[in-house]
């Protein structure tokens, strides 16, 4: 099919970026495009749930009137838009595929190996391709116990510098949510929660922490995204609560997280290995309930993200009103010119 064909474009990267024809045609005609990461495919879910979920999320985005652009590095080449065969290959390879953040991009490209892009790397490649909206499960953040580990996700700094709207279910609940929101404030990132006042907690709809901002519609969120871009600022974050009928039990999840954090400390798990380690442990301890919640929230985010992308796309094609001087200002300008 046309969506499986590839069109090669050049970017600022030293290597080629390969874009699917479906994505290239959508961007050329200013149709809404939604970026998707590949870490959730390779490191976030077991096979075959990962592949099935990735394909279902893409179809949700298409059915909502947008074009999905799953991003990954294959053989050292950044890909924006994957074929079904490529998604299947990455899903089967799973943890063998290197997890890639901003720090790792150049190394993986130069080494000509496969890479699963995290939030930060996906934002960089999406922006390079001209994709304005990106849907994921949850972003990284400030880890619990940061006082001794200094473990802060590069996702937060990327949000402060790269003008892409990230739609997620909040910060992964294994992290320190209040400290993460403080860090995002320092980075100047507009943090909007969709449809409620409390910031969500990934597996559950509410973290009990008040959100810095609230938006009541995709159109309102898209307006903030547009204003942020016009002002020449960085990224934006839209936190979408998991539907309450799909959320996990908060006490059960918190208990599992605490147990997994203790186990991670005992086993010396650190760095970018700790998030998949804990998520897998939480899945096991909750007997798969956390995985079910994870799949549900990603699909829900895809629906909201596609709607935001549609509004962002519409706003871009509207002619912008030219600034006009008021009569007295025009008269004064005329006198000065004389």
> What is the C-alpha to C-alpha distance for residues 142 and 236, in angstroms, rounded to an integer?
18
Question: What's the pLDDT at 19?
Answer: 95
For residues 152 and 141, is the Cβ–Cβ distance under 8 A? Answer: yes
Tokens found for residue 111? 């080494």
> What is the C-alpha to C-alpha distance for residues 159 and 152, in angstroms, rounded to an integer?
13
Burial of 1 (0-12, 13-18, 19+ CB in 10 A): exposed
Identify the residue whose tokens are 């094609």. Answer: 317
Question: What's the pLDDT at 151?
Answer: 87
Task: From the candidates 22, 37, 86, 158, give the one annotated as an active-site residue.
Answer: 37
Helix 289-317 and helix 49-63, axial crossing angle in degrees, nearest 10: 30
Burial of 286 (0-12, 13-18, 19+ CB in 10 A): buried
Tokens found for residue 127? 């922006």
Sign of CA dihedral 188, 165, 156, 246: positive
The question of whether 331 is a catalytic residue gets the answer no
Q: Buried b / exposed e across 8-30, counting CB within 10 Å, b at 16+?
A: eeeeeeeeebbbbebbbbbbeee
State the Cα torsion 206-211-217-223 to the nearest 10°.
Answer: -150
Q: Name the H helices within the chain.
A: 21-28, 39, 49-63, 84-93, 105-111, 119-129, 146-149, 154-161, 177-186, 218-230, 250-267, 274-285, 289-317, 327-337
Question: What's the pLDDT at 283?
Answer: 81
By three-state DSSP, how is residue 12 classified? coil
State the Cα torsion 308-311-316-318 to the nearest 10°.
Answer: -170
Question: What's the pLDDT at 3?
Answer: 44
Question: What's the pLDDT at 13?
Answer: 57
Q: What are phi and psi of 125, to 5 degrees?
A: -70, -35
Tokens found for residue 170? 């909040």
Task: From the candidates 58, 86, 88, 172, give the one annotated as an active-site residue.
Answer: 172
> What is the C-alpha to C-alpha distance for residues 44 and 283, in angstroms, rounded to an integer?
11
**Cα-based distances in Å from 270 to 98, 148, 251, 261, 275:** 16, 12, 25, 10, 9
Mean pLDDT by runs of 10 across the 338 residues of the chain is 51 70 96 97 92 98 98 97 98 97 96 97 97 96 84 95 97 88 98 97 92 98 97 97 90 83 87 78 82 93 98 76 43 50
Query: Could you tell me the pTM of the whole model?
Result: 0.87
Question: What's the pLDDT at 325?
Answer: 40
What is the CB neighbour count within 10 angstroms for residue 36? Answer: 29
The question of whether 37 is a catalytic residue gets the answer yes
């Amino acid at each position: 099919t046309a969506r499986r064909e590839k069109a090669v474009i050049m970017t600022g990267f030293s290597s080629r970026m390969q874009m699917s024809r479906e994505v290239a045609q959508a961007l050329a005609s200013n149709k809404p495009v939604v970026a998707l990461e590949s870490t959730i495919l390779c490191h976030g879910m077991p096979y075959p749930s990962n592949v099935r979920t990735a394909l279902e999320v893409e179809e949700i985005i298409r059915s909502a009137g947008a074009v999905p652009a799953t991003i990954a590095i294959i053989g050292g080449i950044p890909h924006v838009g994957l074929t079904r065969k490529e998604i299947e290959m990455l899903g089967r390879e799973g943890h063998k595929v290197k997890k890639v953040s901003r720090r790792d991009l150049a190394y993986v490209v130069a080494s000509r190996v496969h890479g699963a892009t995290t939030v930060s790397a996906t934002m960089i490649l999406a922006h390079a391709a001209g994709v304005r909206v990106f849907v994921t499960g949850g972003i990284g953040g400030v880890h619990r116990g940061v006082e001794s580990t200094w473990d802060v996700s590069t996702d937060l700094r990327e949000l402060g510098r790269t003008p892409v709207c990230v739609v997620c279910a909040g910060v992964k609940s294994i992290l320190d949510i209040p400290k993460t929101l403080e860090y995002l404030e320092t980075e100047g990132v507009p943090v909007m929660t969709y449809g409620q006042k409390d910031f969500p907690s990934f597996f559950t709809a509410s973290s009990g922490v008040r959100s810095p901002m609230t938006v009541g519609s995709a159109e309102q969120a898209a307006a903030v995204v547009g204003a942020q871009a016009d002002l020449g600022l960085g990224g934006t974050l839209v936190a979408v609560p998991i539907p309450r009928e799909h959320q996990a039990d908060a006490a059960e999840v918190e208990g599992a997280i605490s147990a997994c954090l203790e186990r991670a400390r005992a086993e010396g798990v650190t760095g970018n290995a700790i998030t998949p380690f804990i998520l897998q442990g939480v899945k096991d301890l909750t007997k798969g309930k956390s995985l079910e919640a994870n799949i549900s929230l990603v699909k829900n985010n895809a629906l909201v993200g596609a709607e935001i992308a549609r509004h962002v796309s519409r706003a871009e094609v509207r002619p912008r009103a030219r600034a006009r001087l008021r009569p007295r200002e025009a008269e004064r300008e005329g006198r000065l010119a004389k």
